[in-house]
Every structure is written in C-alpha cells, then in structure tokens.
Amino acid sequence: MTAYLAQDPRLEDFGHDPWWLILIKIVVAFAFGMGLTVLGVWFERRVVARMAVRPGPNQVGPFGLLQTLIDGVKGMLKEDVLPRTADKVVFFFAPTVSAIMALTALSVIPFGPLVSIFGHRTALQVTDVPVAVLIVLACSSLGIYGIVLGGWASGSTYPLLGGLRSTAQMISYEVAMGLSIVAVFMTAGTMSTSGIVASQAGGSKFASIGGFDLYVPGWYGLLLIPSFLIFLVSAFGETNRAPFDLPEAESELVAGYMTEYSSIKFLLYMLSEYVAMVSMSSIMVTLFLGGWRAPWPITLWSGANSGWWPLLWFLGKVVLLLFVFVWVRATLPRLRYDQFMRLGWKVLLPLNLAWIVLLAGVKVFQGSELTSRNRWLIVAGVVVAALLVALLWPSRKAQPTPSLEEQVAARPAGSFPLPPMDLVVPPSPRARRAVAERQPANVGGTETSNDSDETRKEV
C-alpha cells in the first residue's frame, strides 16, 4: 500500500476546491504548457546550435529569448491558404484537436504537494482520479486524430501518407508504452498520479530472499529501469520527434501531414508537438522520477518536499527530459520506416513482455511462503536457465558479400540492362571544344605546354 505523508495529496482531497481556485489551477496548467513550449523552442534552437558550433538565435531580446514570440507573430500574419480539394471543416478543426489533447493531459499531472492558496489548503494539481494515468494515454491517442484528420482533409497524397504513418506509429508504440505503465501499476498499487508520486517516497522493498530484504531507491526510474527506458523510447515515437519523425519526414514526404497547412493552423501543429513533449516529460517525471519530490542530496534538508519548493524540483526534472529530446534530435539520424516498425514490434514489445513476466514472478515470489533453501534454489535455477539460453541462442553468421559480377548474374530475367562494367565515358563535345580553345598553338610540331596537359587531364 502507498504510504502517504502529511504533505501528500490523496484522492479525497480533490473535488472540494471553490470554483475560482479551480479556474486558477487550469490557467496555471495552461500557462505551464504554453510557457515551456515557447521557451522550449528557443531552448532547442540554442542547444542544437551549440552542438553544431553555431550561435543560434541571439538578436531578438536578451540571448534571443523573444525570437520564438516574433516567429509566432510572423506566422500568424502570413496568408492562410486553403487547398481547393480540402475538406474545409475538418481541415480547419484538425490542428485544434492535437493542441487541445496535448494540453488536456497536463490536468492530471501533480506539480507539487498540498499548499495553502488564499487560505485554502489544496494540491498543486488540477484534478486526480483513480485512473489518471489512463487519461494521459487517452489524450495521447486522441491527439493522433488531429494528425490523421489533417492529412486526410488536405486532399493531397503526401499529407495522407504522413497521417497514415502517424496512425501506425501510435498503434506500435502505444502498446509498448502501456506495458511500461503496467509495471508502475504493479509496483505502486494505484493508477492515481498523486498516489504514484507518494509511493516513490523513500526506499522501496524490491524482494525478500533468504531473510534478506533488498531495497532500492524510491524512484521507479531506478527500480523499473527497463520500463523507464522503453517508455522513453516510446515517447519519441508518440510525439513524432526525431529520429522517429516519420509522419513529417521532409526527405520523402515534403512535410508530411503539415504540407498544405499555413499561418496559424501550421503553428497549432507545431504547438501541439512541443506541448506533447512537455506532457510526456511531465508524465515520465511523475511515473519514474519521483514527481515533485527533491532528488538526493537535497532531501537531506527537511523542508525540501514541503511548501512551494517541490514545484522547482518538478520543473528542473522536466527541463532535463526536454534536453534529452533535443539532444537525441541533434545526435541521431532519422530511421527508415521499416527500421522504425521493427524496433517497435520486434524489440520493444518482446522485451517489455519479458520484463513484465519477470516482475510478476518476483512479486509472486516475494509473497510466497517458501523456505529460504527453496527460494535460493529457485533463484539459482533461473540464473542457470538464463545462462543456457544465452549460450545456446543461435548466432547470426555474417554472410559474405557477393562480388559485383555475382550480383549481376543473379539478376532475374527481363531486368533492366546494365552498362558494361569497364565502360569509360568520353568527354562531351562541348568539353573538347573548351579544351581546344584553351590550348596554345603548336610551333614546329612541338608538344603543347604543361598547362594544356594539365587541362587535358582535368577534362
């Protein structure tokens, strides 16, 4: 069971605030998402520029902080183009769906503990329900509808392909993400976001073997590190961020689902992507990084997790994860679509299933009434079985690369003809005339100068 402390909000603490306090919380959550989005764009451009040894935006405002606002105003003043073949109603409302869903996910994120606001003791969270984490997954899934509908309503080929890619990404990576959250449910015993944060206070008992209790730090990012890493990779796919930005791959889809959009509707799609980054970073902090709780050694201070200080720790963790998003974008190239699907279905999903089965076995093993000798025998058997599987697993032998002649001979009948392998293409007539015009005249049958020889070699 979750051990609640005095400053931890509970489910029964929600739903009793006055209407004006609820409105303040909604406005603050909205400002949090929008503010981090505006700063996130500037932050990304500065960090990527730093990694590429460039200055980045540094002209508008101090350190270029106002560059994002100026770009937003410029985008809104641009002409709003509506394709003739577009479905006008769906084309207009599709960007708003993605933006609204990304902002709605912030409503169940706990930003801090119980505090006093104008004499009312309330939690720094808009609301909480017993299935709050499922609300975040639902918002993430519904946000894809804005991309799919925008690609379909554009009446163009490339946006449609981008929308279909986004659908396939959601189906592939939502499964791995959901299984990662299952591990958190199993460990915390609740799906409430405030309850999950409360369950990460202090240390966690992982197992008791032979009379010895195994404890790990309270953050599930350390206790459930496979789930955390898989969730992090899945978050890149859910937010369409590089190297998984296949729905908007400019190298093959021009700009994907956003190709036909302009002005403020294009800005709404960009806004939804960055707000989704903030939402995913916030839910990762809540599920795996202790939420608003201070990291060690700040916890040595008795007041670190009380008052308004936890809001600072939460913001720092979110910014750190946003840096990871930017860092990966500046480092890794875009995957091919088949590589992306293979990673989701053949790597992340089997690993997550194996991890869930192992974790369930540990939970059952922890609550069983076995003797110490039998428990050690079971552990030894599992270790021996894992070693045998690792040793007997068939290894792929590197196939020798066939020569060029063997590749040509293996081509099926009727293939497009290939030019000869020893083909030497002569210079074009224009190049020969240019060389002849630059050559000096021969005198007495002597050879041309060294300059003409070098010119001939260049041609």
Distance of alpha carbon 296 from alpha carbon 201, whole angstroms: 12
Residue 210 located in a structural domain: yes
Task: Evaluate whether 359 touches 183 at the Cβ level (below 8 Å).
Answer: yes
**The pair of three-digit structure tokens given for residue 395, joined into one six-digit string:** 């290894």
Total domain count for the chain? 1
Residue type, 459: V
User: DSSP character for 124?
Assistant: S
Helix, coil or strand: residue 324 = helix
Residue 422 located in a structural domain: no
**What residues make up the domain containing 141?**
11-377
Residues ≥6 apart with Cβ < 8 Å to 459: 427, 431, 432, 434, 435
Residue 78 located in a structural domain: yes
Q: What is the pLDDT of residue 412?
A: 80
Helix (H) or strand (E) holding 204: strand 203-209
Beta-bridge partner residues of 215: 205
Residue 168 located in a structural domain: yes
Average pLDDT over residues 229-240: 88
Q: What is the pLDDT of residue 439?
A: 67
pLDDT digits (tens, 9 = 90+) for 156-203: 888 888 888 888 888 888 888 888 898 898 888 888 888 888 888 876
Task: Evaluate whether 279 touches 106 at the Cβ level (below 8 Å).
Answer: yes
**With pLDDT > 70 as the criterion, what percentage of the chain qualifies?**
86
pLDDT digits (tens, 9 = 90+) for 75-131: 888 888 888 888 888 888 888 888 888 888 888 999 988 888 888 888 888 888 888
pLDDT digits (tens, 9 = 90+) for 366-398: 666 666 666 667 777 777 877 887 777 776 666
Answer yes or no: is pLDDT of 30 > 70. yes
pLDDT digits (tens, 9 = 90+) for 55-80: 888 888 888 888 888 888 888 888 88
Answer yes or no: is pLDDT of 27 > 80. yes
pLDDT digits (tens, 9 = 90+) for 390-424: 777 776 666 788 877 787 778 887 777 776 666 77
Q: What is the pLDDT of residue 216?
A: 55
Q: What CA–CA distances, in Å, run from 176 to 187, 246, 302, 350?
A: 17, 18, 38, 9
Distance of alpha carbon 171 from alpha carbon 179, whole angstroms: 13
Task: Evaluate whether 269 touches 258 at the Cβ level (below 8 Å).
Answer: yes
Residue 111 located in a structural domain: yes
Distance of alpha carbon 237 from alpha carbon 247, whole angstroms: 10
Residue 71 located in a structural domain: yes
Q: What is the pLDDT of residue 211?
A: 56
Q: What CA–CA distances, in Å, run from 33 to 40, 101, 105, 276?
A: 10, 12, 10, 9
Q: What is the pTM of this model?
A: 0.78
| Dihedral angle sign, alpha carbons of residues 196, 112, 312, 65 | positive
Residue 158 located in a structural domain: yes
Distance of alpha carbon 67 from alpha carbon 61, whole angstroms: 7
Distance of alpha carbon 232 from alpha carbon 180, whole angstroms: 10
Beta-bridge partner residues of 115: 122
Residue 402 located in a structural domain: no
Average pLDDT over residues 36-48: 89
Distance of alpha carbon 292 from alpha carbon 286, whole angstroms: 7
Instruction: Choose among 105, 88, 111: nearest CA to 28.
Output: 111
**The pair of three-digit structure tokens given for residue 184, joined into one six-digit string:** 């958190």
Distance of alpha carbon 290 from alpha carbon 232, whole angstroms: 15
Distance of alpha carbon 273 from alpha carbon 238, whole angstroms: 10
Task: Evaluate whether 440 touches 449 at the Cβ level (below 8 Å).
Answer: yes
Helix, coil or strand: residue 304 = coil
